[in-house]
Amino acid sequence: MRRGRLLPGERQLVFRALLAERRPLRFIEVHDGLSALVAEDACATVDGSRVEFDGLWVGSFADSATRGLPDASILGVEARAARARDVLRVSRKPVLFDGDTGGVPSQFAHLVAELESLGFADVVVEDKLEPKRNSLSKQAGHQLEDPRRFAAKIREAKRTSLTGDFAIIARLESLIAGAGVDDALHRAQVYVDAGADGVLIHSREEVPVDLFEFAQAFEKIAAGASTRPFLACVPTTYNQVSDAELFARGVSVIIHGNQLLRAAYSAMQETSRLILEHDRSLGSGRGLRNRGRNLPARGAGRCPGRRCDSAGSRAADALIEATAFWGKLKSSGFTLFTGVPDSTFGLSYTALADDPEIKFVPAVREDVALGIASAAPMCGERGAVVLQNSGLGNLINALTSFNLIYRVPALLVVGWRGYQGADKDAPEHHVMGLKSRALLDLLDIPSRVLDPEEWQRQVDELVTEMDAEQRPAALLVPPGSLQP
């Protein structure tokens, strides 16, 4: 498999594997390659655990809006699918496609075959009549398809599907059309019997009592099916309800359907207004992460299969085997390792501590660890300190009053907490997460951010600089970079 990319069938298998885990899944809307990169890299630490989106959603609302068109089936689904190739190109996550009403059975079967070949994980098809209107519009009339005809559409698509891994999700519009919960349950039973892999129940109520009632009753339908279908929802209007509550009520897949587009739209409006008000662009990034100069590194300048952050480094993925990583350092002459444990490295410590050819000495503080590692050059060896970036503060005095003055080299292997900003880690790591690289630059310490494709060359470069300048060097390791 090509690193950083997935073949079409592999992406569908990933989605099936996620469903098999029987845990809640969270998807988010993307509308182009750049938003897909943002969603791909998004993560947070909740109760000490890393959380991220399980997949991406390509919806007709966002696709139409980015072209300046209403969400009214003006764009053909094949044209939308072709444009969504940018999303597939930059992401390894499963991508769900909004197929609107799907057309007549033969058209829908053709669409499913096309989406399968492109690499989408599934298609969501809604049971409304053409021309469809956006479900959140209260002015538009919403007419429902006859459930038997809609079921025939599902059966035909399942019959002609290229593989058994592509999922078809039937989107129920009964609550939108005012037909009620009983109608939605009747349709759900018909669609599941026709072979639907999942059901998406849609509601535009701010307090979705009707959706909760449906979810409770749907459990009986799911339990009686030969292959258990999953339940999905799109909490746009009832966004005060937490994902945790929706999961607890029986929803398996939550799709945040347009939040990234709305955030981008609001930011563009505000930025445009500020430029006009101030007669210049200075200050127009107020309230935003003003990183416009780095956009090419995330978009056009980004090589296929390589994930980069805004500084041109890679986004965290478990892509480097820990034994290979420590082995490379060992072959580069680093035989004495010391440091203070850091969760960034996780179980990768085991590979370091268990290597009989490496001396690993735990330390109680980072400056103590640097003192231990600094003894290695005096014995004709190389020493390395493994630490969290928050421990860089404890190293400043030792570095400035000893290593940098007396030219004593040591490699700092630094776990980068607070990587990619405040919303990516616990708040106590925010400041040091932003300033770690700048702090090393201030001390004239050469550094690299670990790249899954270039990391061996990076190690060689750092060793060369250490030897030439006889000074410490640092290798910054984003979370999740090493796998045990």
Catalytic residues: 71
Smallest CA-to-CA distance from 410 within 333, 311, 317 is with: 333
Q: How far is CA 332 from the centre of its chain?
A: 34
Q: CA neighbours within 13 Å on the CB side: how many for 137?
A: 12
Amino acid identity for residue 407 in this structure: R
d(CA 210, CA 216): 10
* Beta strands 43-46 and 49-52, pairing class: antiparallel
Place of tokens 């499963």: 94
* Beta strands 43-46 and 25-29, pairing class: unpaired
d(CA 440, CA 446): 7
- Which tokens sit at 414? 């630094």
Going 283 to 285 to 290 to 296, the CA torsion angle's sign is: negative
DSSP string, 37-59: HHHHH-EEEETTEEEE-SEEEE-
Count helices and strands in the chain by DSSP H and E runs: 20, 18
d(CA 311, CA 301): 12
CA distances to 292, 314, 459 from 297, in Å: 10, 11, 22
Smallest CA-to-CA distance from 71 within 223, 261, 215 is with: 261
- Ranges of H-type helices in 225-321: 243-248, 259-278, 295-298
Going 475 to 476 to 479 to 480, the CA torsion angle's sign is: negative
Angle, CA of 355, 356 and 360, to the nearest 5°: 70
